[in-house]
Amino acid sequence: MNAMKLLMTALAAVGMASGSAVAQSPVVIKFASAFAPTSINNQETIPAFIKAVEEAAGGTIRIEHYPGGTLGPNPIAQLKLVEDGVVDIAEVVAAYTPGRFPELEIFELPFVFDSTVEASLTALEMYEAELLSGFDNLELVGIAEVGPYYLHTSDPVRSPADISGLKLRVGGPVQGAMAEALGAVAVGGIPAPQIAENISRGVVDGSPMDLGNVYNFRIADTAKYHVINVPLGNVAVMFPMNQAKYDSLPPEAKAAFDEFSGEWFTRVLAENLDKQNEQSLASLQEDPEHELVEFSEADVAAMEETLAPLVEPFRTAREGVDLYEEMIAARDAVRATR
């Protein structure tokens, strides 16, 4: 009988130890990106975020980073991967899901923002003020309003008149309306990684793009003319997390996410992207194969006047809310603290 008691005690101890080990196993978070491992987001920003969160979480989570489309190569499908629970967090281009995040389209308006940092913190302010929709069942980890975008073409463009008749790849409805207002033909449905190929094949003559991604997407291989003093808006790249996954995190892990999501991640993300923009501009300036074009002040003013009507739909898009004025107020608040 004593032997049986000893055996039962030993088995109970083993069971308790096993249960404790299971309880202490870190929760695994899958963080995916369809973009190249060498992008600044995947090379610097996301690893910095992972390090900060894991350290703050005290071993309760392990974040696995999957760049380069390892868990799904299609940039357009990244949001669905998050919603379906295939991945927990992903790098998502908002414009690839038309109509899902309608208010974010306002950031594509030209002549509003000077940098990615300024636009990104403005977007975060609007998100926290509940002025942005489409985030049901998602927890926003961070957002980058990448830009400003500039025009890059395979043929010389030295004045606004040269834009007329060009076939321009556009990434969303505002970019499409902008291209058409300038007399160009808007061509949609081309993900950013396919822009260079479509320029080389003559499907399009160029595309708006931020300076940093001119090299990431190899656009510089096929577009040699760059208009660098006409800012054509910013484009939202966000990092949503599956809400159910976030809700299931142990308290220490959730606190770590709360600490480094939002402003911390958004700011680091945007600062690195602005740094990439500066590096790319320097590379273009040093390369004799590329021509950096600046339109005259009169031409820029004329373009501003031509594109000004693009603002109007956002003033009445939501009943009782002038989204354009809300964005400008948020931007000015960000500028005041920088």
Q: What is the pLDDT of residue 323?
A: 97
Question: CA 44 → CA 36, 218, 220, 270, distances in Å?
Answer: 12, 20, 22, 12
In a domain, 201, yes or no: yes
- pTM for the full model? 0.91
- Counting beta carbons within 10 angstroms of the beta carbon of residue 185, is it exposed (0 to 12), middle (13 to 18) or buried (19 or more)? middle
Position 282 scores a pLDDT of 98
Residue 7 pLDDT exceeds 80 = no
Domain count, the chain: 1
Give the CATH number, domain containing residue 70: 3.40.190.170
Q: Is 8's pLDDT higher than 60?
A: no
In a domain, 12, yes or no: no
Kindly report the number of other CB atoms within 10 A of residue 74's CB atom: 13
Mean of per-residue pLDDT scores for the chain: 93
What percent of the chain shows pLDDT beyond 70?
93
Give the closest residue to 46 by CA, choosing from 59, 65, 61.
65
Checking if the pLDDT of 10 tops 70, the result is no
Q: Hey, which residues does 90 pair with through a beta bridge?
A: 32
Task: Spell out the residues 6+ positions from residue 44 whose beta carbon is closer than 8 angstroms to its own.
Answer: 272
Q: What percent of the chain has pLDDT over 90?
A: 90
How many other CB atoms sit within 10 Å of the CB of residue 8?
10
Q: What is the pLDDT of residue 136?
A: 96
Answer whether residue 103 shows pLDDT above 50.
yes
- Residue 295's SS3 state is coil
Mean pLDDT calculated for residue range 322-333: 98
Q: Span 49-57, mean pLDDT? A: 98
Q: What are phi and psi of 81, to 5 degrees?
A: -60, -40
Residue 338, pLDDT score: 73
In a domain, 39, yes or no: yes
pLDDT value of position 19: 47
Is 6 among the domain residues? no
Among candidates 35, 231, 207, 211, which has minimal Cα distance to 119? 231
Q: Is the pLDDT of residue 258 over 90?
A: yes
231, with CB counted inside 10 A (0-12, 13-18, 19+), is: buried
Please tell me the predicted confidence (pLDDT) of residue 22. Answer: 46
The predicted structure's pLDDT at residue 2: 55
Q: Would the pLDDT of 123 be above 90? A: yes
Residue 173 included in any domain:
yes
**What pLDDT is recorded for position 4?**
53
Question: Residue 30 forms beta bridges with which residues?
Answer: 64
What is the rounded average pLDDT of the residues 44-56? 98
Please report the pLDDT score of residue 3 as a whole number. Answer: 55
13 within domain boundaries? no
- 17 within a domain of the structure (yes/no): no
DSSP-derived 3-state class of residue 207: strand
What is the tens place of the pLDDT at every residue in 149-160?
999 999 999 999
Residue 30: pLDDT above 60?
Answer: yes
210 beta partners:
149
Residue 18 lies in a domain: no
Domain that holds residue 306: 25-336
Is it the case that residue 15 has pLDDT exceeding 60?
no
Q: Cβ-count burial of 238 within 10 angstroms (0-12 exposed, 13-18 middle, 19+ buried)?
A: buried
